[in-house]
Amino acid sequence: MFTGIVEELGTVVAVEPLDDGARLTVSGPLVTSDARHGDSIAVNGVCLTVVRSGDGEFTVDVVAETLRRSALRSLAEGDRVNLERAMALGDRLGGHIVQGHVDGTAVLRGERDGLTRFELPEELSRYLVEKGSITVDGVSLTVVDAGQREFTVALIPTTAELTTLGRRAPGDEVNIEVDVLAKHLERLAGPHLAARGRGAQALPGDNGGVREAR
């Protein structure tokens, strides 16, 4: 579990292709200061398991499914990445509840009127609401406008300076994790809403509306 508050801007040291994924080695002196084998570190918002660490670097394996769903597939040696260690029980929740389970990617479209605009798939946009939370490349942000296929956020100078978001250019792909609570609510309420829809019939109403048949 993470909070979306980036601890360190790391650097990709090596990318090694594997038959079923890739192996990344990342330089991050802060996040490796207490890292052990099996610990979790979020790299651009993706929760990955440390398989080796030492000398200020750590190595993680990325499976094919993660590469398919995230922008990690385009990482190359020298790229900067956002790093965050898993939160400890009792820590302050500075951002919001972030699992590190990326739902997909979005594309940076540019800035206007002080807001940064991203385009994302329609199947993800339904989970966004005005003033709700979203994770972009591991950074916890507040949604300003939520459209059918896009959203905007306001980046403060500190966020732009201390994360990769200040280095992004229009057309760049970023990792997106929507609010897990929204997905759970959809899963739980979906069957009930569908059942109500099947039971609805047009009955005379005060304004010719539709009432549920009982």
- CA-nearest of 127, 105, 93, 130 to 115 is 130
In angstroms, the Cα distances linking 163 to 38, 41, 155 are 25, 15, 10
Q: How confident is the model at residue 72 (pLDDT cuts 50, 70, 90)?
A: very high
Q: What is the pLDDT of residue 211?
A: 37
Q: How confident is the model at residue 205 (pLDDT cuts 50, 70, 90)?
A: very low
> What confidence tens digit (pLDDT) does each residue in 32-58 have?
999 999 999 999 999 999 999 999 999
Q: Which residue has the tokens 């651009």?
A: 44
**Helices (runs of H) and strands (runs of E) counted in the chain:** 4, 14
- CA-nearest of 188, 158, 195, 155 to 174 is 155
Determine the straight-line distance between the first and last CA of the chain, rounded to whole angstroms.
Answer: 45
> What confidence tens digit (pLDDT) does each residue in 116-149 have?
999 999 999 999 999 999 999 999 999 999 999 9
Instruction: Tell me the three state secondary structure of residue 198.
Output: helix
The structure's pTM equals 0.86
